[in-house]
Amino acid sequence: DAGITQSPRYKITETGRQVTLMCHQTWSHSYMFWYRQDLGHGLRLIYYSAAADITDKGEVPDGYVVSRSKTENFPLTLESATRSQTSVYFCASSGPLTGFAYEQYFGPGTRLTVT
Amino acid sequence: AQSVTQPDIHITVSEGASLELRCNYSYGATPYLFWYVQSPGQGLQLLLKYFSGDTLVQGIKGFEAEFKRSQSSFNLRKPSVHWSDAAEYFCAVVTNSGGSNYKLTFGKGTLLTVNP
C-alpha cells in the first residue's frame, strides 16, 4: 500500500535489549523524521534525515541510533533500551523543499514498552 | 529560538457549538504554519497549512485558521463541532536550522472533548 508504514505497531522489550523500529514510505520523500510522544511533552524530535545517508540529531537523540541507506527506509534503533524510552514513536516524511512541501505525513505509530 | 504555544491544554464544547483553538508562535521570519489532528491511537493528520497569501485558510473537515502577524497567532476555528471532532490538536511551525535542513516545532497540543 502507498503511504508511510511503521512496524511493529506494538512492542514490549526488556531493559538493556536492543530494539529496532522500522519506518517505510512509498512517496520517495526526501525527508524523514522520528518523534516520540509522551504525556506532558507533546511531540519531540529524535532524529531526522534530509536524504539517504544524511542524518542529524533532533531534540532528544541520546540512546537512539538511525541510519538511512535507502530513501524509503528510516529505521530507529534503541541500542540498550531503558524504561525512560517507553513511549509512542512516530515516523514522518516530507517531500522536497520546492513547492513549499514542508508538511509532514505521519505513520500510525509504534507503542513501545520497556519493562 | 522558535516556539509554539497552545495555551489551552483541554477544551470541552457541546456538539453543534463553535470552536476556537489558540496557537501563538515565536519566529522572526514569515512563518510556515500547520494544524494537525490526532485521534486516539492514531498518527497525526494534516488539517491545514499557511505559507503565504490569504490569511484565512481552509482545511479538511470544515476547519479554518486565520494567520494574524500582529498577534503572532494562528487560531483554528470550526463553526459547528461534531462529536467526531473529539481529538488532540497540534499547531506547528517550520523551523530552519540552516541550509536544506528544516524541522517542525510542535505545540504541546490541545485536547478537545465534545459533549453530546
Predicted pLDDT of residue B50: 92
**Over chain B, what is the mean pLDDT?**
91
What is the structure's pLDDT at A41?
84
Q: Do B34 and A109 touch (CB under 8 A)?
A: no
Q: Determine the Cα–Cα distance for residues A57 and A62; give it in Å rounded to an integer.
A: 9
pLDDT (mean) for B25-31 = 81
**Is the pLDDT confidence value at A9 over 90?**
yes
Chain A residues within an 8 Å CB radius of B101: 48, 50, 56
Q: What is the pLDDT of residues A64-100, one digit of tens each?
A: 999 999 999 999 999 999 999 999 999 999 986 555 5
- Classify residue B83 by burial, with Cβ atoms within 10 Å: 0-12, 13-18, 19+: exposed
Mutation site, B3, B33, B44, B50, interface A, largest A CB count within 10 A: B44
Tens-place pLDDT, residues B67-100? 999 999 999 999 999 999 999 999 999 887 555 6
Query: Of the given ranges (A47-51, B28-32, B80-84, B112-116), which has the lowest mean pLDDT?
Result: B28-32
Question: Which of chain B's residues have a Cβ under 8 Å away from the Cβ of A96?
Answer: none
Q: Cβ separation of A106 and B94 shorter than 8 Å?
A: no
CB proximity B51 to A under 8 Å: yes
